[in-house]
Structure 1
Amino acid sequence: MKDAYNRSFKSSSKLQFHKSIWILFIFLIVIVMIIPSIIVFGAGANFVHMNGFLPASSVSNHNQNQIGLASPQKSPLEIGWVEGSGTIMQHLTDYNNLKVVSPALASVDNRYNLQENSNPTLINTIHQQGKKIWARIIMQTDTKSNDHAFLANPTKTQAVINKILQSVKAENWDGVNLDIENVSIQDRNTFSQFVKNLSSGLNKSTAILSIDLPPDPSVGNNNQASFDHELLGKYCNYVFFMGYDQHWSTDSVPRPITSLSWLKENLQEFIKTGIPSEKLILGLPAYTRVWEQNQQNHVVKDPAEPIQSVENLVAENHRNMTWDSTLGEFYTTYTSQNLQYKIWLPTEKSFNLYLNLIPQFHLAGSAVWNLDQMNSAYWNKIF
């Protein structure tokens, strides 16, 4: 009986030993193969969540799924263009939720060479405040004839692209914001080719490519417009709709520089003509105009003034304001010293309506032109 018990005990021990070996083996497989995959996946997901966008090297501009771009599920991008490079660069942390700044750090001169005004101190100052830098590229003389001469010269355009790519690496730019606005219809294809070539070069880096576009002059007919929405939406990571200057300083009749109905109309047009909504960024003005008309109803002056300054002017002079729900802003008119003044004034209430277009149209975010005209206190009321 005892021997039988011993044999049974030994047999049971062997089974338990082999079972333990198998459990240990399976456990090691889990450790070696599965857990690292979980870590890599989790880290990647966390990177996307924290940054809200991916660099061009991580997102194919030809991929219409746009993996990693800002979406309604992520926090929208808040971007501020900067016209100068003065003291405002030292106080970017005062702007709540500001993620990206876009100063004009390079321009194409009249001999079609790229001239930089970037410097390591400026770049470090911006980065140390936790902001990304999308360097804005402009034309020194942005006219249709000058833009045509540049775009019609493939040697010059490629040289500019090469210089931009060098600057992205050497100057530690996080992205490029292309701001060439006076392209004629005859240069539609050469401009698209320029953007395509720039995009191809940037895809080898970690830099974002964005572009600033005005609305089509003829809504609903992008085939006859200067900027090919479908191609530009394909090759750029982001497209800024410049939602201001609905009416220009050269207009003979005073009108608003932006409005809710006009913003909606153009966003719908951009999306309909081929720009993915998740790539669209709504550009908004930090200024409005104070239109002055003489007794013959001719516009004699229409200075662009910061919105908060005009708000103070209206309040100090006790002017009555009328809300226009279609425009999404206030309006006032009054006479002083034989001049008639007309003002369309976006306020905090207006910006709330404008920014509601982001979730409504599933946009990537918003931008303000420009931070030099909007102090942090006013920005923080909006964002």
Structure 2
Amino acid sequence: MRKWLRNMIAGLLSAAMLLPGTSGFAADGKFNMSYLYFGSTSTYVQTVERTKGALHVVSPDFFNLNADGSLKLTTKLSTSFIAEMHKRNIKVVPFLSNHWDRELGRRALQNREQLSTQIANAIATYNLDGINVDIENLTETDRAAYTDMVRLINSKIPAHKEVSVAVAANPFGSNVGWKGSYDYKQLAAYSDYLMIMAYDENYSGDLTPGPVASDAFVKRSIEYALNQGVSKEKVVLGIPFFGRAWSADGTMNGAGVSNWRVPELVKKYGGRIVYDAPTKSAKATFTVAPGDEVTVIGSTTFSAGTYTIWFENEASIKEKLRLVGQYDIKGTGSWSLTQEEAGTWDYYSRWLNGRFFIDTEKHWAAQDILAMLDKGWMVGTSPLKFSPEQRLTRAQAAVILVKAAGLEDQSAPNAGFRDVPSGFWAKRHIDIAKRAGFITGKEYNLFAPDQQVSREEIASMLARILNLQMEPESEPPFSDVQGGWSYDAVLAMKQAGILNGFEDGTFHPKDGTSRAEMASLMNRIGDRLNEHNN
């Protein structure tokens, strides 16, 4: 017997005995970028590393503006950081900001011919991957000049370099003020994508507490872009990694607070966090009593008083990530790295790319199910559901095992099962599995594809795939497996350390197998199965 089989983690087709699996993921499918503003260049690499490979583009604050509107390189610009990102296949696209200074922004537009040349030269000199234009707080009178500046930049940098524009969310279609400064359609024509700043629905200085980015606000912001004629491939949804705080006495109105700080404040002062279902936003409340230790975060001081913070937590961010798939847009951006909660990157890429199920979030086999999804061996029963407790059918088992065995691209002659017609969804996989020899039919040339697959059938199929042969043993493998057609397979699987049975020494060979149990079993033997296939 193969030595590696001896070393396999013993398990059981039951939740009580199965060990959770692990799987990794990297940026794929849908686009994802984030801004780097807080911290120093010396910490930037570590900051990006915490995203666990989820980013395609990072946008650091390397570009500012001089008083005359010309380009100013910040002291954070680092060629070593750029090189480190390129090693990780992450593009470095600095953002150009006027930091809300309207007159400075207008001088940049007036000086756009020189500024665009300076930007193009800096991109070439420092091996940067493009520019994210983030000029804010202009008005409708600057609309044409703003568009022209982006056009000039686009014309002066190589085609493979990125030009993107951060635009104000415009859920109500305003044509004046800050929102009116952006010609969505024309800006999209001269850029690779528009990063919609779909946040600050309630903002710094706002007297009314409320969500930073409610569900309706975000949806309308996306729809406005699409209705303006921006192709969905050029729409990037901005997600806030920050919240805003208000005090009951009115002395604090919308102060910015990083998402990760909010649970700390709630825990420190004995507050509570609730999820507001109508807005799909998180809200924290707490009271700092007289005599309590005061908390200072940046320029914000939480002294004695009662506070409300609207912010983004895992639940609200997941809802926003779902919108990427719902509208089939390019992807997401976020402001900004270091402000997110711990654990954000554990789920971000999966939800961004639609690899999630709402019925497995707290399930014991959640990680195994996600691993199967990543491998492509199992799929959901619907776009949002995996149905973990649903019994696995013989047809489903055949499909999973063919994929796991690396045989999916092969063809096979008709297996001849009378109950598997030519139009049956799993017919090709059943034919392949029959030719490969790891499934058999029932009597009278029947396969019973919709019948639940039993534990002993799964054991038999896997034993055939792995070419397991039982070794001589005087004792039966389990008290309820004393003989019968599956005896040799169950015994071989037990000897290989794959099956241990229940605590009472039984195996329950006739019982069905849930989809969650199958996912966990396959995840645990997946790497070994790949090794066997190769």
**What TM-score do the two structures reach when normalised by structure 2?**
0.53
The answer to which structure, 1 or 2, has the higher relative contact order (CA under 8 A, 6+ apart) is 1
Which residue number in structure 2 is paired with residue 48 of structure 1? none
Tell me the distance in 2 between the aligned counterparts of 1:245 and 1:281: 16
Is 1:143 the counterpart of 2:143? The answer is no
Gaps (5+ residues) in structure 1? 1-50, 53-73
Is contact 2:193–2:236 with CA below 8 Å preserved after alignment? yes
Is 1:356 the counterpart of 2:322? The answer is yes
Which residue number in structure 2 is paired with residue 103 of structure 1? 60
Is 1:279 the counterpart of 2:234? The answer is yes
How far 1:265 moved relative to its partner? 1.1
* Residue aligned with 2:62, SS: strand
Tell me the distance in 2 between the aligned counterparts of 1:77 and 1:88: 24
> Which region of structure 1 is more displaced relative to structure 2, 341-350 or 207-216?
341-350
Which residue number in structure 2 is paired with residue 378 of structure 1? 344
How far 1:317 moved relative to its partner? 3.9
Structure (1/2) with the larger helix percentage: 1
How far 1:343 moved relative to its partner? 2.0
Which residue number in structure 1 is paired with residue 454 of structure 2? none
Is contact 2:260–2:342 with CA below 8 Å preserved after alignment? no
Tell me the distance in 1 between the aligned counterparts of 2:342 and 2:90: 15
How far 1:144 moved relative to its partner? 2.4
* Residue aligned with 1:373, SS: coil
Which residue number in structure 1 is paired with residue 275 of structure 2? 323
Is 1:235 the counterpart of 2:201? The answer is no
How far 1:223 moved relative to its partner? 8.0
Q: Aligned match of 1:122 in 78, 81, 84?
A: 81
Is 1:219 the counterpart of 2:172? The answer is yes
Tell me the distance in 2 between the aligned counterparts of 1:303 and 1:150: 29
What pairs up with 1:51-200 in 2 under 5 angstroms? 75-84=29-38, 85-91=40-46, 92-96=48-52, 97-117=54-74, 118-139=77-98, 142-151=100-109, 153=110, 156-200=111-155
Gaps (5+ residues) in structure 2? 1-25, 290-303, 350-534
Displacement over 6 Å in runs of 4+: none
Tell me the distance in 2 between the aligned counterparts of 1:87 and 1:329: 34
The alpha-carbon distance between structure 1 residues 329 and 351, as it changes in their structure 2 partners (threshold 3 A), is same
Tell me the distance in 1 between the aligned counterparts of 2:56 and 2:43: 15
How far 1:129 moved relative to its partner? 3.1
Tell me the distance in 2 between the aligned counterparts of 1:377 and 1:342: 23
How far 1:163 moved relative to its partner? 1.0
Tell me the distance in 1 between the aligned counterparts of 2:63 and 2:285: 41
Question: What amino acid is the match of 1:368?
Answer: S
Q: Aligned match of 1:265 in 220, 224, 228?
A: 220
Which residue number in structure 2 is paired with residue 21 of structure 1? none
* Residue aligned with 2:202, SS: coil
How far 1:335 moved relative to its partner? 4.1
Tell me the distance in 2 between the aligned counterparts of 1:136 and 1:208: 11
Is contact 1:254–1:299 with CA below 8 Å preserved after alignment? no
* Residue aligned with 1:122, SS: helix
Tell me the distance in 1 between the aligned counterparts of 2:281 and 2:332: 18
How far 1:189 moved relative to its partner? 0.8
How far 1:361 moved relative to its partner? 0.9
The alpha-carbon distance between structure 1 residues 240 and 170, as it changes in their structure 2 partners (threshold 3 A), is same
Identity %, equivalent residues: 22
Which residue number in structure 2 is paired with residue 56 of structure 1? none
Q: Aligned match of 2:259 in 287, 307, 317?
A: 307
Question: What amino acid is the match of 1:80?
Answer: S
Which residue number in structure 1 is paired with residue 203 of structure 2? 248
Is contact 2:207–2:253 with CA below 8 Å preserved after alignment? no
- List per-residue Cα deviations over 1:230-285 (Å, max 9, x = no partner): 10111110100012211111111222211112101111111111221211111111
- List per-residue Cα deviations over 1:118-146 (Å, max 9, x = no partner): 2322211222233111111122x642233
How far 1:371 moved relative to its partner? 0.5
Question: What amino acid is the match of 1:135?
Answer: P
Question: What amino acid is the match of 1:243?
Answer: A
How far 1:113 moved relative to its partner? 1.6
How far 1:302 moved relative to its partner? 4.3
Is contact 1:232–1:275 with CA below 8 Å preserved after alignment? no
Question: What amino acid is the match of 2:50?
Answer: D
Tell me the distance in 2 between the aligned counterparts of 1:158 and 1:374: 37
> Which region of structure 1 is more displaced relative to structure 2, 156-165 or 336-345?
336-345
Is contact 1:94–1:376 with CA below 8 Å preserved after alignment? no
The alpha-carbon distance between structure 1 residues 83 and 232, as it changes in their structure 2 partners (threshold 3 A), is same
The alpha-carbon distance between structure 1 residues 149 and 289, as it changes in their structure 2 partners (threshold 3 A), is same
Structure (1/2) with the larger strand percentage: 1
Q: How many pairs are equivalent?
A: 303
Which residue number in structure 1 is paired with residue 162 of structure 2? 208
